[in-house]
Chain A
Amino acid sequence: QVHLHESGPGLVKPSQTLSLTCSVSGASISSGGHYWSWIRQHPGKGLEWIGFSKYIGNPYYNPSLQSRVTISEDTSKNEFSLKLASVTAADTAVYYCVRWAGYGVRGFVDSWGQGTLVTVSS
């Protein structure tokens, strides 16, 4: 049973960089067969896919966020991380780290972290 856990600051100031880490247990992020990804949920329900840590060898990001997002892996710690630069209030959301299955970006999420609320405010 894979388990994912998000950690990081719950409050970020506008224009700064949001940084979160996802610790994975019960599966190896380097073993292949799955993709490791971030999704966020804005207040009031909407879900938004942010990107993959690795897809066909490289990170793959939602084009709407691509200019501000970096997702990286630390295979020695079995962790992957999210950095979102130049945040605004619109980036306030619950951030989930997830395991993605199926046909790459056309696939689906089969495991979710518990989520962590990040608020952007001065």
Chain B
Amino acid sequence: QSVLTQPPSVSGAPGQRVTISCTGAGSNIGAGYDVHWYQQLPGTAPKLLIYGNTNRPSVVPDRFSASKSGTSASLVITGLQAEDEADYFCQSYDSSLSASVFGGGTTLTVL
């Protein structure tokens, strides 16, 4: 059971927009700690997608964006492409656990 809750799977057709949620609590996201997002393509290590809630590394396309509000965060992918099919993870810090924590991951299927 992960501290940060993500839907196990989402799907969308090419060109569509999908949203992946990450729900936490008052000891992590709700306490104001930053949320970061990673993409894990099949058979590879995760890759940084978003850091500090909304910041995108220069190599990441602007189709990827994220936001945070209250005890939750969201990753939005627009103009869905087949190459976006991957697992996506959120990460934050939890003060009650004194540890960095991850969501359980969401598998994105491009139909």
Contacts and interface: CB of A to CB of B under 8 A. Distances in A.
A80 interface: no
A113 B46 CA distance: 9
Contact of B48 (A46, A48, A110): A110
Given A108-B51, A115-B45, A46 B98 contact: no
Contacts, number: 63
Contacts of B44: 114
B65 interface: no
Given A64-B99, A105-B99, A112-B47, A47 B34 contact: no
A47 B45 contact: no
Given A49-B99, A103-B34, A110-B57, 11 more contacts: A45-B104, A46-B104, A47-B91, A47-B105, A63-B98, A63-B99, A101-B51, A102-B51, A106-B34, A107-B100, A112-B46
Interface of B: 2, 33-34, 36, 38, 44-48, 51-52, 57, 87, 89, 91-93, 97-102, 104-105
